[in-house]
Amino acid sequence: MSEPTKKIAVIGLGYVGLPLAAEFGKIRPTVGFDINRARIAELKDGHDRTRETSAEELASATQLSFAADTSDIADCTIYIVTVPTPIDAHKRPDLTPLIKASEAVGSVLKKGDIVIYESTVYPGATEEDCVPVLERVSGLTFNEDFFCGYSPERINPGDKEHRLPSIRKVTSGSTPEIAETVDALYAEIITAGTYKAESIKVAEAAKVIENTQRDLNIALVNELAIIFNKMGIDTQAVLEAAGTKWNFLPFRPGLVGGHCIGVDPYYLTHKAEALGYHPQVILAGRRINDGMGAYVAGQMIKAMLKKRIQIEGARVLVMGLAFKENCPDLRNTRVVDVVAELRDYGVEVDVHDPWMDPEEARHEYGLELIEEPAAGAYDGVVLAVAHDTFRAGGPEALAAWRKPASILCDLKSAFSPDQSDLRL
């Protein structure tokens, strides 16, 4: 078993890091570290803006403290890095947060310390990209003076059923002994159990293909939705019929965004291309999913034209900006593609999402959210994210915002087919 006296630092307190820090903070000294001082101040007051960790959960983590200065984590011996790994405008992996976090850890790294990465990366990134930074900044030697592990995060934002302790954890270490230590460490908080991978690269690869597989399955049903739409067949009806077979996978069409499914495949394809192999199936799935926002907007415009609605100057309400329902996470949300495409047609678009921080929407996408839609003002409504608050009133509640001759586009199939004009 790992030694309970060893102090942990969790680097990055977002959707992944904070729940992890809170769990460890219940049983051993833990410091939650983040460079965002405003975030640290909020957490010290018991408030988590991501809504993943409640004030009660934070209060129960009696050994958890928060810090924004690296000097406050210098006495830790285990460092767990949980920073984001996004893609840039050219869909290439952006390791900047990971490298900066590694530099911060390297500045306080000591002999015998262990650095564990949870951020999603391509196979080899921990040892090929992060370890050299740790060595350069610390002046220490990998696998002699310090050691590394990799345990991919499996957090599902907004999911109150599958929480960190109840999701089985893959672990790995840079030596057999460290692999045992890392596995024992996570076993202290993961009630669902752990799975010790044979190497760091295997653990990295396992994570990146989890979401690549989901991406491809969603791309398949998205392409089927496009085909069935041309045939005049309701895609949801087809999927429900096919779903009566025991081994049919229950994927549904839709916009594919977020910090994982819409991003992780590009990490794998980047590494493959660096090795001289051009992935075909994975990138084909990405192209389909990345194009769904424009497709939805195009279908919306066609439906409006069929009702003889003047497109130039028409008003459309887009309901939801988060990348998924019942969470305030807008990272890589593809709803913005629908908004941008509709505006290219000359449509005036309002975006409404009570889960979102208006300042964050403004900062990330330049979008001004509206607090309350105007009654009877819209030629079209797009239900882009099926928050419970949107589902609650049904299409009848949305009717108050629509003009008599208008279109309801139900992207999430939240309502029955006869209650909407358009859906995937």
List, by residue number, the catalytic residues.
260
What does the alpha-carbon distance between residue 373 and residue 353 come to, in Å, rounded to a whole number? 10
What does the alpha-carbon distance between residue 12 and residue 212 come to, in Å, rounded to a whole number? 24
- The helix-helix angle for 200-231 and 264-274 (nearest 10°) equals 110
- The single-letter DSSP state of residue 166 is G
Residue whose token pair is 């003002």: 377
What does the alpha-carbon distance between residue 261 and residue 221 come to, in Å, rounded to a whole number? 15
Per the document, the length of the chain is 424
Question: Quick one: which H or E segment has residue 185?
Answer: helix 176-187
What does the alpha-carbon distance between residue 345 and residue 332 come to, in Å, rounded to a whole number? 23
Strands 169-171 and 348-352: unpaired
Question: Quick one: which H or E segment has residue 169?
Answer: strand 169-171
Residue whose token pair is 């900066």: 100
User: Smallest Cα–Cα separation from 21: which of 76, 80, 71, 77?
Assistant: 80
Number of Cβ within 10 Å of residue 395's Cβ equals 18
Q: Tell me the C-alpha to C-alpha distance, in Å, between residue 370 and each of 157, 332, 335, 351, 356.
A: 24, 20, 15, 6, 11
